[in-house]
Amino acid sequence: MKKILAMLAFAAAMFVSCGEKTDDEGEGGGGGSYKAPITIDGDFADWAALDASKVQVMKCASSATKADMKLAKVYADKNFIFVYIEMDYSAYDGEVTMAHIDFCIDGDADTATGGYNGQWDQGVTPCIDVLIEGSIIEDSAVCEAFDPFVGTWGGEVNADGWTWTEIEGLTGFIEGKGNKKAWEFRITRELYPAGKMAKEFNMGILCTVNGWDATGALPNAEVTETNIDGRAPLLKINYNK
């Protein structure tokens, strides 16, 4: 484990050493000139400049039972996964003292690894292998940055439960910035802590407001007699060249 953490720390240091360029005109992980399309600064105007055909949009179903996230957008390329999230606190009359965002990632797109069913329809092979969980609101105040727990699945393959092995010292893996109702994030592919991340992989997003039980989940689906929880499969993240 110490060897793995040392390698991750080294990779993070190398990436950060030239990472200041990746927001503007730096070299991408695949070589050649790379300009990141989104800057993580809490100003969301650059999302409007993206090619809409390359942005995946998840909207909360009208009958969803967990509806505190109303919208998410995802854009992924060779270096990063960018995510934009909008929250809905209308059920709380403005009394929001804490809120967290969880990214649940099946990074290898392999049902033979991972676990944790979460709030999605994963059949009999739940396969999430990385959890990212961090605050966006604490003590009624918006967090200055996203400083999450990052863990790899530590339970039996395809089992449910809440069994994660924390990965420490993972500088630069995810960054986030926002306000009370909207946040944007950047996940770095090179620093994925559970092996090589597939070009196209699967992901779900949870939020918890004023507690630790999930109060929002995307993707979701309309509630029906046969789907009383409004569960949907994880979102397959597209790869943009």
pLDDT for 37 equals 97
Give 94's pLDDT tier (boundaries 50, 70, 90).
confident
Overall pTM surpassing 0.85 (yes/no): yes
Section 162-166 average pLDDT: 98
pLDDT for 124 equals 97
Section 84-93 average pLDDT: 96
Q: In this predicted model, what pLDDT tens digit does every residue of 20-30 receive, in sequence order?
A: 333 333 334 44
CB 87: neighbour CB atoms within 10 A? 24
pLDDT higher than threshold 60 for residue 219:
yes
My answer on whether omega of the bond before 219 falls inside 30° of 0, hence cis, is yes
Q: In this predicted model, what pLDDT tens digit does every residue of 100-137 receive, in sequence order?
A: 999 999 999 999 999 999 999 999 999 999 999 999 99
